[in-house]
Structure 1
Amino acid sequence: MFFNPFAMMSASAIPQKRHSRLRELDLRMQDFLTTKRGAASGKVLENVKSARDHVRREIQGNNLSRAPK
């Protein structure tokens, strides 16, 4: 037998949880970029911007997959 961390979650709760975590991550990265502008190295800021863009694409993809057909 193995441990399944999602055993207690319904199938619809998993994508909803992922979406909320992605939104939280997006907000945290945006706050970091706003706070650290000029204080962090350019490479760090570019890496965070790239990761934020990736998260936003994931969020957009989740929104499109939930749209009524």
Structure 2
Amino acid sequence: MIEFKLEGDFIPLIQLLKATNLVQTGGEAQIVVSEGEVKYNGQVDYRKRLKVKKGDKVEFRGKNIMVI
């Protein structure tokens, strides 16, 4: 489990994937989101501009991110 400490009110999903080093670029992040590889709070989510907030869970390729 990766714990990501949120500094503001939210972080866009694309930036979260980059900040946790699960993808190398924003372009790669957009592709994996649009292909349905990312789960947000247990559901596949295709929104690239999704605002991830404290308490949310993101799952990607077997890695879990908990936003704290």
TM-score in terms of structure 1 length: 0.23
Task: Return the structure number with greater helix share.
Answer: 1
Larger Rg: 1
Structure showing the higher strand proportion among its residues: 2
- TM-score, normalising length: structure 2: 0.23
